[in-house]
A = this chain, B = another copy of it.
Amino acid sequence: MNISEKLGFTHIEWVDDHLVVLDQRKLPLSEEYFHIRTIDGAFYAIQNLVVRGAPLIGITAAYALCLIENHEDRDSFFVTCETLKSARPTAVNLSWAVNRMINAYESHVGDENLERILLDEAAKIHREDSKMCESIGLHGNKIIPDECRILTHCNAGALATGGIGTALGVIYTAFFSGKMIEVWVDETRPVFQGARLTAWELARAGVPHTLISDNASGKLMSENRINLVIVGADRVAKNLDFANKIGTYNLAVLARYHNIPFYCAAPTSTFDLNCPDGGSIEIENRSADEIRNVFGARISLPATPAYNPAFDITPNSLLTGMITENGILTP
């Protein structure tokens, strides 16, 4: 049984003529599937976090391009591609995957099997991502001690990818190879991906874990209760600066202050060689209501001004290593 099977859930699958994804907005209390049958449905799912995580967004967009009714209409196909790319600005895998689909389209336009060819390409992107996660897990496992208390941020797990995850892929590989692993899961305000998704995944996989508020990370580090930090990435610049969920930079600074190794795990599909450094990565600002309200409960006055950047940039100077499917890169 490989690691993927040990996780015990399927969260993205092409079924007959459409895409079925686990609705991540409903986790962890409800496991509902969301059926994507149209481009509009895919756009909605990406923008509204039904699916999230840079690699998974890319895979979803690739499959979505198999839902176009009239593939022969070249103009329409390209308009759709641009629309999908705009659903979320920071994750580079989205345009990377759409560009792969465009290449397949260009090579086979006019082919009577075009639909089949596009679906094969999307499935290939999915399969390759799963393989990249496995390789990241194997490379990353080399730097995990036999006993290790690991802090992770947000969700860079199976739920963020087409495989076992990136940061969590390393954790699963270490855990299932018999190492004593304990995971500190920070809740990851404002959207609580840590509390809702990472804690759910780890529970499913049977990995010991403890949930904390984002504010408790410093205290734990000062008490030597965190041996290593590992996070994912939404976009990696050429110099290994990277964008990841807001709060990642805080952890990088805290880890440096406490001399704790700080790793990022990301497939090369998350690298954007057009970005020389972090300063050129666009950061998505999301609605102020994600800060003012929590699942319908108002925690501040409706008129309170709020600032809600979804990501921050961690400079390569704070990075111990970037774990990729090809090995571990150092700045």
Q: Say yes or no: A195 contacts B250, CB within 8 Å.
A: no
Tell me the chain A residues, 268-322 only, with Cβ under 8 Å from chain B.
288, 291-292, 294-301, 303-309, 312-313
* Complex Cα gap A217–B130 (Å): 34
Q: Say yes or no: B249 contacts A213, CB within 8 Å.
A: no
Task: Tell me which residues across on chain B come within 8 A of A312, comparing CB atoms.
Answer: 215-216, 218-219, 222
A48 at the B interface (CB under 8 A)? no
Nearest CB to that of A217 among chain B residues? B250
A139 at the B interface (CB under 8 A)? no
* Complex Cα gap A145–B300 (Å): 29
Q: Say yes or no: B29 contacts A203, CB within 8 Å.
A: no
Q: Say yes or no: B297 contacts A209, CB within 8 Å.
A: no
Q: Say yes or no: A304 contacts B29, CB within 8 Å.
A: no
Q: Which of B200, B213, B217, B304 contacts A291 (CB 8 A)?
A: B213
Q: Which of B203, B295, B300 contacts A301 (CB 8 A)?
A: B203
Task: Tell me which residues across on chain B come within 8 A of A292, comparing CB atoms.
Answer: 195, 211
* Complex Cα gap A187–B213 (Å): 12
With contacts A213-B189, A215-B189 taken as known, whether A195 is within 8 angstroms of B247 at the C-beta atoms is no
Nearest CB to that of A294 among chain B residues? B294
A328 at the B interface (CB under 8 A)? no
A254 at the B interface (CB under 8 A)? yes
A253 at the B interface (CB under 8 A)? yes
Task: Tell me which residues across on chain B come within 8 A of A203, comparing CB atoms.
Answer: 301, 303-304
* Complex Cα gap A199–B292 (Å): 11
Task: Tell me which residues across on chain B come within 8 A of A199, comparing CB atoms.
Answer: 300-301, 304
Q: Say yes or no: B214 contacts A305, CB within 8 Å.
A: no
Which of A199, A219, A254, A313 counts the most chain B CB atoms within 10 A? A219
Tell me the number of copies of this protein: 2
A78 at the B interface (CB under 8 A)? no
With contacts A253-B254, A292-B195, A294-B297 taken as known, whether A189 is within 8 angstroms of B214 at the C-beta atoms is yes
* Chain A binding surface SS class: mixed
Nearest CB to that of A202 among chain B residues? B304
A316 to B: closest C-beta gap in Å: 14
A135 at the B interface (CB under 8 A)? no
* Complex Cα gap A226–B246 (Å): 17
Nearest CB to that of A254 among chain B residues? B253
Task: Tell me which residues across on chain B come within 8 A of A308, comparing CB atoms.
Answer: 212-213, 216
Q: Say yes or no: A250 contacts B305, CB within 8 Å.
A: no
A261 at the B interface (CB under 8 A)? no
Nearest CB to that of A188 among chain B residues? B215
Nearest CB to that of A184 among chain B residues? B307
A259 at the B interface (CB under 8 A)? no
A88 at the B interface (CB under 8 A)? no
Task: Tell me which residues across on chain B come within 8 A of A288, comparing CB atoms.
Answer: 211
**Residues of A bordering B, CB below 8 Å:** 28-29, 187-190, 192, 195-196, 199-200, 203, 209-219, 222, 245-247, 249-250, 253-254, 256-257, 288, 291-292, 294-301, 303-309, 312-313
Please give me the 3 A-B residue pairs with the lowest Cβ-Cβ distance, nearest first. A215-B247, A218-B250, A295-B297
